[in-house]
């Protein structure tokens, strides 16, 4: 092999690396040094000039600088490096550029543990918040490992199990927050991440914990590099890919859990730092790991210095984790065009084998039968308005009660079907099992616009919030299409653009929420999703939209069948890739935009419905598309019925209940499949 060819084989050569480093790391380093100098420079000069005379008396500014500002800067560097390295380990082990410390439910497990301890076992908090958060993170990770242990810790299965466990823990903590907002409102704010310090002790404790993990991380760098190959090639070289993957995930979990227990959730660093490391030209895993740690440290320090400089005395109330996303998202968007194209293997290859013992026809009949049963339950089984007792609706009361029930059921079913369609399209189009309407960023656009309507109007009406949410969704659709146009709508780039926009908009919502304004909890309740405000006209409009979009999706069956074969094969069979990708992305985004105002942005039906269809053994494009739509409808109808009946007279949000019942169902399917 010639030198130029070898250079290209090794990642494009040193020229690419130098150019990438110059365009990513050097500007980030310069900005960080400027921000750190502006924040730390004047106090350092005063400390130097004051000398021993200042130390002899009481100087509050000096004490704040030595025991709050400096430890906070050190914590930013340490947490950023740990989260960047954790994300790099996960993305390498799972071979997925969308993997991050939040993928395995680490953050959600820690937050749930803190919520449970606050409500029912406050004595545990006396042992230390760190230990409680670490325990929750550890338990969620153990549950993930228990679900995938019989599949040799396959990458696809790990990702799916992590998403499901994280979804379940997050939904539980959100429900507890809504039901106990007086006690858990601060936990909602803590979830945005804060680096505020009052001594050097937390920094030293975190440094000691991370130092214990460092030797293990260094030992697996070289073996992990072989995971750039597929598992079969790695085994041919004597590497046990499953055990190595489990060890790498365990190390990443420990790193992230230590950080979460110390400062809260700063999850975006773990996603963006490894991606920026790749964009900087690092091709080997060792270089990507080092680059991710360096970029994570610089990015978090830059964000925290910016918080302190701009917020002044109120910096303690501004979440650094949210501000980090405000900085990292535009940086990722600017550099997205430099991301090399990468074709993923056909989706579902690892999930198809042994997915179900039922035939595809039997699976479809099972889902259809379950849907009909749920329709009957949703319409006829409920609670007595006076006594709260369960009752089956008699025919004589149909005219009185059904006008209150059927619009909610039809609205929930329509939204669920649209989200199921959107999730199936995105997963087929991108070849990524983590793709969902939420990942695309459209839901975050709706949440951002809803937040504006709540915070900028004196008396926001539900119709105004819904209208603004629709407008926000459409704006994000336009932004994603504009960003993906130059790459020919290459799926990985569009997904990353959606994630960057998602993080950016979520960060703004997090900053608004951290102000302590009561409207933040109103926004939180809206994001949880509720169908209680749907009337007959809105339900019929939603049903009409679902029928129309289903027909449009069926017109795209051929592209959906060919795209999983790979770009080259699909083009050889006559598929015009750019046009097909554009149509499918627009269709998925429009489906999400239509469903979000009905049930909110946090249902995750679009993630779970395609996996349910696949795990039931339905793989052909047209049947799988319809089963995904039916599964999404079934999930949200069940969630709406349970949400209005289980805790009567209180009503639980449909979106959260959908996560609570959908996640265990996926866990059972995963466990059955692995048996």
416 with 371: CB under 8 angstroms? Answer: no
SS3 percent helix, strand, coil of the chain, rounded to 5, is 80, 0, 20
Contacts of residue 631, defined as CB under 8 A and 6 or more positions apart, other chains included, come to: 367, 420, 608, 609, 612, 613
Do 183 and 265 lie in one domain? The reply is yes
- Decide which of 292, 319, 335 is a domain's last residue: 335
Between the CA atoms of 452, 455, 457 and 462, what dihedral angle is there, to the nearest 10 degrees?
Answer: 70
Do 397 and 328 lie in one domain? The reply is no
* 38 domain residue, yes or no: no
Q: Is the pLDDT assigned to residue 317 strictly greater than 70?
A: no
- The conformational region for residue 12 under phi > 0 = left, psi -120 to 50 = alpha, else beta, is left
**pTM for this structure?**
0.71
Distance CA 380, CA 375 (A): 8
Mean pLDDT score, 261-289: 81
Looking at residue 664, its pLDDT comes to 80
Looking at residue 549, its pLDDT comes to 94
* 505 domain residue, yes or no: yes
Looking at residue 515, its pLDDT comes to 63
Half-sphere exposure for 289 (CA within 13 Å, toward CB):
19
Confidence of residue 633 (pLDDT cuts 50, 70, 90): very high
Do 465 and 598 lie in one domain? The reply is yes
Cis peptide before 649 (omega within 30 of 0): yes
- Decide which of 308, 335, 362 is a domain's last residue: 335
Residue 381: beta bridge partners? Answer: 392
* 245 domain residue, yes or no: yes
Do 269 and 417 lie in one domain? The reply is no
* 250 domain residue, yes or no: yes
Do 409 and 286 lie in one domain? The reply is no
Least confident window among 107-111, 138-142, 414-418: 107-111
Confidence of residue 359 (pLDDT cuts 50, 70, 90): low
Do 172 and 281 lie in one domain? The reply is yes
Contacts of residue 56, defined as CB under 8 A and 6 or more positions apart, other chains included, come to: none
Considering its fold, how many domains does the chain have in total?
2
Do 109 and 232 lie in one domain? The reply is yes
Pairing of strands 390-392, 381-383: antiparallel
Q: Is the pLDDT assigned to residue 165 strictly greater than 70?
A: yes
Query: Residue 473 belongs to what domain range?
Result: 393-674
* 12 domain residue, yes or no: no
Contacts of residue 113, defined as CB under 8 A and 6 or more positions apart, other chains included, come to: 132, 133, 135, 136, 137, 139
Between the CA atoms of 34, 35, 36 and 40, what dihedral angle is there, to the nearest 10 degrees?
Answer: 110
Q: Is the pLDDT assigned to residue 643 strictly greater than 60?
A: yes
The enclosing domain of 399 has a CATH number of 1.10.3470.10
- Decide which of 335, 352, 374 is a domain's last residue: 335
Distance CA 248, CA 239 (A): 14
Mean pLDDT score, 614-628: 84
Q: Is the pLDDT assigned to residue 417 strictly greater than 80?
A: yes
Query: Which residue did the predictor score with more confidence, 502 or 137?
Result: 137
Do 543 and 417 lie in one domain? The reply is yes
Distance CA 523, CA 465 (A): 10
Distance CA 299, CA 322 (A): 12
Kindly report, residue by residue over 12-44, the tens digit of the pLDDT.
Answer: 333 334 555 556 778 888 888 998 898 888 888
Distance CA 631, CA 613 (A): 7
Do 102 and 228 lie in one domain? The reply is yes
Distance CA 595, CA 412 (A): 9
* 350 domain residue, yes or no: no
Query: Which residue did the predictor score with more confidence, 431 or 286?
Result: 286
Do 238 and 328 lie in one domain? The reply is yes
3-state DSSP assignment of residue 531: coil
Highest mean pLDDT among 89-98, 233-242, 436-445, 554-563: 554-563
Do 279 and 400 lie in one domain? The reply is no
62 CB neighbour count, 10 Å cutoff: 16
Mean of per-residue pLDDT scores for the chain? 77
Do 331 and 403 lie in one domain? The reply is no
Highest mean pLDDT among 128-132, 184-188, 324-328, 444-448: 444-448
* 629 domain residue, yes or no: yes
Mean pLDDT score, 488-514: 70
Residue 390: beta bridge partners? Answer: 383
Half-sphere exposure for 457 (CA within 13 Å, toward CB):
14
Half-sphere exposure for 281 (CA within 13 Å, toward CB):
17
* 211 domain residue, yes or no: yes
Distance CA 250, CA 86 (A): 10
Distance CA 531, CA 415 (A): 10
């Amino acid at each position: 092999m010639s030198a130029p060819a070898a250079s290209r084989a090794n990642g494009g050569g040193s020229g690419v690396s130098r150019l990438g480093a110059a365009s990513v790391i050097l500007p980030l380093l310069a900005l960080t040094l400027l921000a750190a100098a502006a924040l730390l420079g004047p106090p350092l000069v005063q400390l130097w000039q004051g000398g021993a005379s200042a130390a002899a008396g009481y100087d509050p500014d000096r004490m704040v600088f030595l025991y709050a500002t400096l430890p906070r800067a050190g914590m930013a560097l340490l947490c950023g490096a740990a989260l960047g390295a954790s994300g790099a380990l996960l993305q390498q082990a799972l071979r997925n550029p969308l993997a991050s410390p939040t993928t395995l439910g680490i953050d959600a497990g820690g937050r749930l543990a803190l919520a449970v301890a606050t409500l029912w076992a406050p004595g545990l908090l006396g042992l230390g918040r760190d230990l409680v958060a670490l325990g929750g993170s550890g338990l969620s990770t153990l549950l993930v490992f228990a679900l995938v242990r019989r599949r040799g810790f396959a990458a696809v299965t790990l990702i799916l199990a992590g998403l499901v466990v994280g979804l379940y823990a997050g939904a539980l903590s959100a429900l507890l927050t809504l039901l106990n907002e007086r006690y858990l409102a601060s936990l909602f704010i803590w979830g945005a991440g804060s680096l505020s310090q009052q001594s050097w002790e937390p920094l030293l404790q975190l440094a000691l914990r991370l130092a214990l993990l460092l030797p293990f991380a260094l030992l697996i760098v070289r073996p992990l590099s072989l995971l750039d190959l597929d598992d079969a090639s790695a085994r041919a070289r004597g590497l046990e890919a499953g055990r190595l993957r489990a060890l790498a995930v365990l190390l990443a979990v420990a790193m992230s859990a230590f950080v979460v227990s110390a400062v809260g959730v700063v999850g975006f660093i773990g996603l963006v730092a490894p991606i920026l490391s790749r964009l900087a030209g690092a091709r080997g895993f060792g270089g990507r790991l080092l680059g991710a740690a360096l970029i994570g440290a610089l990015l978090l320090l830059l964000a925290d210095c910016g918080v302190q400089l701009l917020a002044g005395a109120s910096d303690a109330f501004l979440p650094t984790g949210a501000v980090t996303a405000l900085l990292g998202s535009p940086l990722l968007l600017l550099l997205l065009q430099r991301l090399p194209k990468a074709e993923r293997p056909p989706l579902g290859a690892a999930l198809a084998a042994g997915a179900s013992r039922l035939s595809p026809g039997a699976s479809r009949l099972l889902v259809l039968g379950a849907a009909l049963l749920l329709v009957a339950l949703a319409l006829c089984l409920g609670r007595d308005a006076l006594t709260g007792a369960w009752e089956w609706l008699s025919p004589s009361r149909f005219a009185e009660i059904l006008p209150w029930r059927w619009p909610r059921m039809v609205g929930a079913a329509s939204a669920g079907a649209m989200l199921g369609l959107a999730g199936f399209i995105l997963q087929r189009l991108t070849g990524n099992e983590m793709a969902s309407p939420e990942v695309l960023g459209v839901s975050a656009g709706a949440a951002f616009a809803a937040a504006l309507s709540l915070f900028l109007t004196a008396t926001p009406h539900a119709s105004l919030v819904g209208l603004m949410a629709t407008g926000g969704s459409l704006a994000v659709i336009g932004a994603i299409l504009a960003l993906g146009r130059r790459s020919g709508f290459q799926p990985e780039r569009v997904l990353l653009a959606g994630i960057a926009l998602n993080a950016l908009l979520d960060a703004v919502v997090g900053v608004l929420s951290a102000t302590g304004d009561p409207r933040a909890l109103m926004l939180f309740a809206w994001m949880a999703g509720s169908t209680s405000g749907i009337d007959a006209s809105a339900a019929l409009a939603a049903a009409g939209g679902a029928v129309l979009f289903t027909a449009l999706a069926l017109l795209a069956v051929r592209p959906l069948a060919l795209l999983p074969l790979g770009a080259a094969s699909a083009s050889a069979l006559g598929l015009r890739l750019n046009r097909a990708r554009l149509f499918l992305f627009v269709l998925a985004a429009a489906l999400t935009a239509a469903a979000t105002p009905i049930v909110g942005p946090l249902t995750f039906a679009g993630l779970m419905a395609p996996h349910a269809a696949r795990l039931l053994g339905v793989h052909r494009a047209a049947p799988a598309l319809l089963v995904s739509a039916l599964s999404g409808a079934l999930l949200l109808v069940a969630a709406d019925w349970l949400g209005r009946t289980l805790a009567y007279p209180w009503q639980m949000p449909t979106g959260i209940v959908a996560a609570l019942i959908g996640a265990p169902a996926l866990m059972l399917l995963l466990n059955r499949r692995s048996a």
